[in-house]
Amino acid sequence: EGGGDMAAGGAGDREGRCGPAAGGLALLGLVPGAPSCPHGPALLFVKTSQGKEEGRRFYACSACRDRKDCNFFQWEDEKVSKTRLAAREEYNRSHQPFFTHRQNAERYKNFVLLPLSKRRFCQECQQLLLPAEWEKHSDHQFLCDISTAQLKSPSRILYPLENKKTNAQYLFADRSCEFLLDLIIDLGFRRVLSVGTPRLHEIIQSKASQEEDFRVRSLLLDIDFRYSQFYAEDEFCHYNMFNHYFFGGEAARETCRKFLYQDNGERVIMVTDPPFGGLVEALASSFKKLMAMWKETEEGEEGGIQEMPTFWIFPYFFESRILEFFPSFSMMDYQVDYDNHALYKHGKTGRRQSPVRIFTNLTPSTIVLPVEEGYRFCTICQRYVTSGNKHCEICNSCTSKDGRQWKHCVLCKKCVKPSWFHCNNCNCCALQNHTCEKTDAGCFVCGKAGHKRSTCPSLSHA
């Protein structure tokens, strides 16, 4: 999960490929006929310089932000020779997993038939081994005597991929996982589309296999193909959430469609936990496509609901960006925790408080947060908030984003963090020891005042 199990997404650190870092990069998106790398169709970007016309457009990997992880690059107007195209196709083929999902599913069936003493997992290759394969891995480190319980919790066997720029694979803490599942059940959902949330998926799968009356089902969409060793083809799809790419082709896409079809009135919710370095616009585009897929299947059964119910788990400081693409969403105060992240853990003070929140298009008052963890219901805002999030009479809202009590600034006409003070030079609130900067700086793209790069009319026009 978290900061999800996916690559960090986008060409954020690609200055070396398109000249010095004299400007920014803007995402133009997924376009028909885009070239592909091992992670599926590439995204189109443009180099921007302040006050100047947009630069040359180029394609880069949708999933990897660091060229060391995927060095795909192509100018949009570049003529690529047949020889180079053939070499690229061969490279892409050679960088796909050794076994197909179907082969992995067959291998799993054989693996579970083995006695405990013959169940081995190669830690170096991150692979379940059958006895005939032991010799090939003889100089590798093994995990032995793999139990059924371990097989039901693959996220605890597999190494988390913690390269922040490529695979920010932070996994939900048990506290957050159990809370999310209880909330989903209380809200009446019986199907969970788990996009980059393997730990939530595995807890659902595990309960379904152990408890006869447990009715919730889950489908995991994730770029980490290692999970195909543990799940059948109707339980896992190899998927890139930055370009809405199903590696298994139409068959995998059909698996997803079939899962989203609400048989017997079973309601579906999408829960997604992307890597926090990912480009919000690329993620939003993919989520809208998944919502469109849901819309095709539900045929008005949800009583006019326009969007698939969703929990998008992301840091609170991305709120404005998420609302830009999904105006129907609102941010809940619940702090989501991770097992293997030093800072994103539950605590009562300072940086120990996780900045990760749930963004949802469900009615806020229906999202009941645990009172025993310090959440309370604000009758005016009609939502649960942290105990430190006091209602501001002037803003008429519980304004805190980080769990601390915020204070109202009359000059800024809004609430700000308690550590901020109003600066007359900057004409806004900031940290007391901040460096004052010019307030008349214009847009990074066109140089004009009144808007940011992300909403520049020049880019929209282009």
Does residue 249 belong to any structural domain of this protein?
yes
Among 344, 368, 387, identify where a domain stops: 387
If one counts every other C-beta atom within 10 angstroms of the C-beta of residue 255, the result is 20
Is 348 a member of any domain? yes
Same domain, 374 and 256: yes
pLDDT at 452: 54
Quick one: 62 and 176 in the same domain?
Answer: no
Assigned domain for 441 exists: no
- Boundary residue ending a domain (353, 387, 421): 387
Kindly state whether residue 122 falls inside one of the protein's structural domains.
yes
Q: Which of 17, 22, 24 is nearest to 61 (CA)?
A: 17
353 and 204 co-located in one domain: yes
Beta bridge partners of 74: 59
pLDDT value at residue 415: 92
Annotate 212-242 with b (16+ C-beta within 10 A) or e (fewer).
Answer: eeeebbbbbbbbbbbbbbbbebebbbbbbbb
Q: Looking at the structure, do residues 226 and 287 belong to the same domain, yes or no?
A: yes
- Whether 141 and 200 share a structural domain: no
pLDDT reported for residue 8? 38
Domain boundary among 95, 116, 134: 95
Query: Is the same domain home to 231 and 311?
Result: yes
**What is Dmax (Cα atoms) for the chain?**
74
CA gap 416, 341 in Å, rounded: 27
pLDDT in tens, the chain (462 residues): 644 433 334 444 333 333 333 357 889 999 999 999 999 999 999 987 765 667 889 999 999 877 888 989 999 999 999 999 999 999 999 999 999 999 999 999 999 999 999 999 999 999 999 999 999 999 999 999 999 999 999 988 998 765 444 445 678 888 899 999 999 999 999 999 999 999 999 999 999 988 888 999 999 999 999 999 999 999 999 999 999 999 999 999 999 999 998 666 789 999 999 988 888 999 999 999 999 999 887 654 445 567 899 999 999 999 999 999 999 999 999 999 887 554 545 544 434 578 899 999 999 999 999 999 889 999 999 999 998 899 999 999 999 898 888 999 999 999 999 999 999 888 899 998 888 865 445 555 555 555 555 555 555 443
Residues 319 and 345 in one domain: yes
Distance CA 21, CA 12 (A): 11
> In terms of domains, do 31 and 142 share one?
no
Q: Are residues 59 and 186 in the same domain?
A: no
**Structural domain boundaries, residue 43:** 25-95
Q: Is residue 428 part of a domain?
A: no
Number of domains making up the chain = 3
Does residue 69 lie in a domain region?
yes
CB 179 within 8 A of CB 193: no
Structural domain includes residue 264: yes
Is residue 265 located within the same domain as residue 204? yes
What pLDDT score does 7 carry?
Answer: 37
Q: Domain for residue 268, yes or no?
A: yes
Which CATH number do you get for residue 175?
3.40.50
CA distances (Å), origin 207, targets 112, 137, 202, 265, 273:
18, 33, 8, 21, 21
What is the predicted pLDDT for the residue at 212? 86
Strands 189-195 and 217-222: parallel
Residue closest to 278 by CA, chosen among 334, 240, 335, 238: 240
pLDDT for the residue 10? 45
Let me know whether 89 and 62 are in one domain.
yes
CA-to-CA distance for 392 and 410, rounded, in angstroms?
A: 12
Whether 217 and 344 map to the same domain: the answer is: yes
Identify the pLDDT of residue 257: 94
